[in-house]
């Protein structure tokens, strides 16, 4: 994957089928190490833009390029780019309920690593690290759907961080979090560039780099957002973490 830019968005427009455009002529780039805040009114297209960056929806016109590759269904569905993109980019949904589906918090965290074929020892060690990082150890046996909103958000975040992605797309990451939990979030960093290709274990490293703000341009700046949907109509692709049986469910077996 190219090291030049992480994302390059050029003339991007997008409309949900049968609806007015949500994004019109959006252009920007994100360099490795940069942290970018998307600011905009409810309904201005922040979540939609993140879906497009994550390859969950596709541009109506214009392009979204990630790691030097224009995103489209074909490249994301096939190796080598598709699986590598999915490993490199972690996406936190605005609504944690669409992201959590496992019977326990521990299994939620184990899902991704087991799909990638990590050893039981690697999965166990990384679960411990990640639970501790987000102060979730006491919740490891809880059913994710039974948690509070802030707890769910931390579990959803943990399920991303355990894979040690180099890019984090976080949709409203602090909403519903108390000040202490927001402090935990501030410690979270994507894997640094220098670590690319390294085994995905250990705590998330500081990516460093500049911070800048890129307001989302919207066709409907005062629009009212509906409940978050993972579907983008005709442009939709399957959610990344759909419920599937894991090769060897950890449960207490990992403990
Ligand atoms: N599945 C959908 N089908 C049709 N229109 C949608 C869909 N999802 C979002 N929209 C519309 O697209 C526009 C952008 O919505 P989006 O959720 O991206 O906004 P947002 O900036 O994330 O809002 P919020 O701050 O409330 O999270 C809104 O007008 C919204 O009504
Ligand atoms: Mg949103």
pLDDT at 234: 36
What's the whole-model pTM score? Answer: 0.81
pLDDT at 169: 97
The answer to the question of residue 140 being in a domain is yes
Distance CA 11, CA 26 (A): 5
pLDDT surpassing 70 at residue 162 = yes
pLDDT at 49: 98
pLDDT at 1: 56
Is the minimum distance from the CB of 43 to ligand 1 under 6 angstroms?
yes
pLDDT at 4: 84
Report which ligand 1 atom has the smallest distance to the Cα of 50: 18
The answer to the question of residue 174 being in a domain is yes
Indicate which CATH number applies to the domain containing 215.
3.40.50.300
Distance 214 CA to ligand 1 centre (A): 18
The range of the structural domain enclosing residue 144 comes to 7-249
* Residues 43-64, mean pLDDT to the nearest whole number: 97
Distance CA 47, CA 229 (A): 10
Quickly count: other Cβ atoms within 10 Å of residue 72's Cβ.
14
Report which ligand 1 atom has the smallest distance to the Cα of 231: 1
The answer to the question of residue 108 being in a domain is yes
* Residues 165-169, mean pLDDT to the nearest whole number: 96
pLDDT surpassing 50 at residue 23 = yes
pLDDT at 241: 52
Is the minimum distance from the CB of 16 to ligand 1 under 6 angstroms?
yes
How confident is the prediction for the chain on average, in pLDDT? 80
The answer to the question of residue 1 being in a domain is no
* Contact predicate 207/191, CB 8 Å: yes
The answer to the question of residue 255 being in a domain is no
Distance of CA 66 to the CA centre of its chain: 14
How many domains is the chain built from?
1
Nearest ligand, CA of residue 51? 1
* Contact predicate 126/162, CB 8 Å: yes
* Residues 177-193, mean pLDDT to the nearest whole number: 84
The answer to the question of residue 131 being in a domain is yes
Tens digits of residue pLDDT in 190-204: 876 444 433 333 222
Tens digits of residue pLDDT in 230-252: 334 433 443 455 433 333 333 43
Backbone phi, then psi, for 211, in 5-degree steps? -110, 140
Nearest ligand, CA of residue 218? 1
Distance CA 248, CA 9 (A): 39
Q: Regarding predicted confidence, which is higher, 84 or 1?
A: 84
The answer to the question of residue 254 being in a domain is no
Nearest ligand, CA of residue 22? 1
pLDDT surpassing 80 at residue 210 = no
Tens digits of residue pLDDT in 86-107: 999 999 999 999 999 999 999 9
């Amino acid at each position: 994957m190219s090291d030049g830019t992480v994302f390059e968005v050029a003339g991007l427009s997008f409309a949900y089928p049968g609806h007015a455009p949500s994004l019109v002529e959006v252009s920007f780039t994100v360099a490795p190490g940069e942290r970018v805040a998307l600011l905009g009114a409810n309904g201005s297209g922040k979540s939609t833009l993140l879906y497009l960056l994550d390859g969950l929806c596709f541009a109506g016109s214009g392009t979204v390029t990630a790691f030097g590759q224009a995103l489209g269904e074909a490249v994301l569905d096939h190796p080598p780019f598709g699986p590598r993109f999915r490993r490199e980019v972690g996406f936190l949904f605005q609504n944690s309920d669409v992201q959590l589906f496992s019977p326990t918090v521990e299994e939620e965290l184990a899902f991704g690593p087991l799909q990638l074929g990590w050893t039981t020892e690697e999965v166990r060690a990384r679960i411990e690290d990640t639970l501790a990082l987000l102060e979730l150890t006491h919740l490891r046996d809880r059913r994710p759907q039974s948690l509070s909103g802030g707890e769910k958000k931390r579990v959803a975040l943990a399920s991303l961080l355990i894979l040690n992605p180099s890019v984090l797309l976080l949709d409203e990451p602090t909403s519903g979090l108390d000040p202490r939990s927001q402090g935990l979030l501030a410690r979270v960093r994507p894997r640094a560039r220098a670590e690319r290709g390294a085994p995905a274990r250990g705590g998330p490293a500081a990516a460093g780099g500049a911070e800048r703000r890129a307001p989302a341009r919207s066709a409907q700046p005062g629009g009212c957002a509906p409940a978050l949907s993972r579907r983008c109509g005709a442009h939709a692709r399957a959610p990344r973490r759909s419920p599937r049986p894991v090769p060897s469910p950890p449960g207490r077996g990992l403990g």
